[in-house]
Amino acid sequence: MHSATLEPSLYRIQYRDHLALQNISNPEKYTPPLRECTGWIVQQDEEKLVVVCDRSVSPQPHEREPAGSNALVIYRKAIEALWPLGSLKNGGES
């Protein structure tokens, strides 16, 4: 599925944060910590998901669509669990 066909569904995602070990000597001794986020998947491919955790409810004057911020790139191989939480449109409509 590509970003053009995504519905505005909210997801809860648990993933292993490999970047948390980047400044540790002997990172192979440790398991990356489990983290989680909730957000809207705005782009995806076979390798990764891009999740927006914060977005406008309505478009700003210079935007066609409501923009999101706080984007998080999660590699699929790091994902432990992914749950759909609902198909919420902007403004909380179902």
Domain definitions of the chain by residue range: 3-87
Strand partners, 43: 50
| pLDDT surpassing 90 at residue 90 | no
Mean pLDDT of 43-54: 93
pTM: 0.73
- Give percent of the chain above pLDDT 90: 55
User: Minimal CA–CA distance to 55: which of 64, 65, 47, 46?
Assistant: 65
Is pLDDT at 80 greater than 60 in this prediction?
Answer: yes
Task: Decide: 84 and 11 in contact? Cβ < 8 Å.
Answer: yes
Q: Is 45 helix (H, G, I), strand (E, B) or coil?
A: coil
CATH of domain 3-87: 2.30.30
Instruction: Check whether 56 has a pLDDT greater than 80.
Output: no
Instruction: State residue 33's pLDDT score.
Output: 96
Residues with Cβ within 8 Å of residue 85, at least 6 apart in sequence: 9, 10, 11, 12, 38
Rounded CA separation 15/2 (Å):
21
